[in-house]
Structure 1
């Protein structure tokens, strides 16, 4: 299996499919590269080269105790891009993957990046603060991490319906099969608990507003208007207001799991955006 070595010696797994213009697909916070099962084959079959990394702590990558801050994750991404000698890259950041992408751009520059797609991204800043009064209270973060630590399978099962269907969704109301929902839950459970807790802490507490302001590549922001994990106004619209060369595509009635619930539409959007 292909691996790249991070600066601290962590072995990071990735898949590298196809030829053509490279697209790096950065997954949601506690997921791994398998979440792109609906997108990567579609894009590869249509002439793009898809690179799918497993974030440290998840999938087939090493599971170190530390390194779950955005600086380290951005440096992990830089190691992959350097290792493969990539240029003219389309970065696709899903949820927390959007934070990795913008921190990579602020930390390593855009010389190797052609454009950026932010899908359900948690940028620019989730946490409530004096200068971010509409953010999410820190108590919510503590409740999430406590629930993860106490009974991670129960916690993930409990948030699955809102993840895919929005705040009022129930398991019976979802259009997805129970097997697909279970498959996603198992991906999240496959990551280390330490990584899951620290990644969640990072996505809530790290302020990416300066990073987002510095994005200097064409950007599309794809977001559902019923996303309970990354609220549309707090995330997509504020991110767009900070990136001059950006546009927002809103999926009406959609929640956080667009990669599965709206796969056909998302695939077409990404193909059009990433194709020269």
Structure 2
């Protein structure tokens, strides 16, 4: 079943709510929606978990206002959903920019309602390079990505999709599957796509990660070209008591590149 939850005046988020039991909250990556986790929803709802998939504002079936795509507001949106559904002792799973939003949520709201955190190919602690941070995209590259989204969004999505998956010989990804990912990206609003990427470019979570108190597992693809393995090292050093799980055959889309192992590690994390 799905809920529409008003997180601020005239802004409603679509929230997928499948199964019963301990809640597992999923925060999707740019520029997809909670549907990216459909295989996990199928699996976990059979295993006695309640899957909560939040479509971020601007994406999937949620409202797409002109503004409100900074991490503070996106983290506040998550808090509004957790409060509305009265979720307690939940697992929070953030993929890519969803990982960045999860980090801001844990710091800004003191980990309210969350017992454990999983960061999957997280766009953190900073997605773009800074004076004292040489990892990730250069600002000019991020600007070029934004320009590409404004010029020809379908082509930008296709190009991004090629970077997204390792697509190794041991696990080739089918063309229909790539088309499906493209479709999820096309469902997003153009302005939500651009403005969330501006937040990816501009936001810095280095002071947030040291505030995380919950047990944290970091999932990282060794072949990730979008959120490189150096990000995971920074997170591991910054989050007290965190653990790292590396997927040697995975790019950014770990859950698609190594689906069996990903699901096994996810179930391990949820114990």
Partners of 1:248 and 1:41 in 2: CA distance: 25
Shift of 1:136: 2.5
Partners of 1:106 and 1:48 in 2: CA distance: 25
> 1:173–1:158: structure 2 CA closer, same or farther, 3 Å change rule?
farther
Shift of 1:174: 7.1
- Aligned equivalent of 1:230: 227
Partners of 2:170 and 2:67 in 1: CA distance: 39
| Aligned: 1:191 with 2:192 | no
Any runs of at least 4 consecutive aligned residues in structure 1 with deviations exceeding 3 A, and if so which? none
Shift of 1:2: 1.2
Aligned match of 1:204 in 198, 201, 205? 201
CA offset digits 1:144-189 (Å, max 9, x no partner): 01111111111211232221127xx8xx997011000000011101
Task: Tell me how large the CA RMSD over aligned residues is.
Answer: 1.6
CA offset digits 1:23-57 (Å, max 9, x no partner): 00110111001101111110111011110111111
- Aligned equivalent of 1:36: 37
SS at match of 1:229: coil
Aligned residue runs from structure 1 range 119-158, under 5 A: 119-158=120-159
CA offset digits 1:74-99 (Å, max 9, x no partner): 00000000001011010000000011
CA contact (8 A) 1:43 1:267 kept: no
Partners of 1:248 and 1:76 in 2: CA distance: 28
Aligned match of 2:256 in 253, 260, 264? 260
CA contact (8 A) 1:39 1:263 kept: no
- Aligned equivalent of 1:73: 74
What TM-score, normalized by structure 1, do the two folds share?
A: 0.94
Partners of 1:136 and 1:215 in 2: CA distance: 25
CA contact (8 A) 2:5 2:14 kept: yes
SS at match of 1:24: strand
CA offset digits 1:6-26 (Å, max 9, x no partner): 124301111111111110011
Partners of 1:34 and 1:126 in 2: CA distance: 23
CA contact (8 A) 2:66 2:191 kept: yes
| Structure 2 residues without counterparts, runs of 5 or longer | none
SS at match of 2:178: helix
> 1:231–1:242: structure 2 CA closer, same or farther, 3 Å change rule?
same
CA contact (8 A) 1:58 1:195 kept: yes
Partners of 1:59 and 1:136 in 2: CA distance: 26
| Aligned: 1:272 with 2:265 | no
CA contact (8 A) 1:230 1:256 kept: yes
Give the count of matched residue pairs: 270
- Aligned equivalent of 1:215: 212
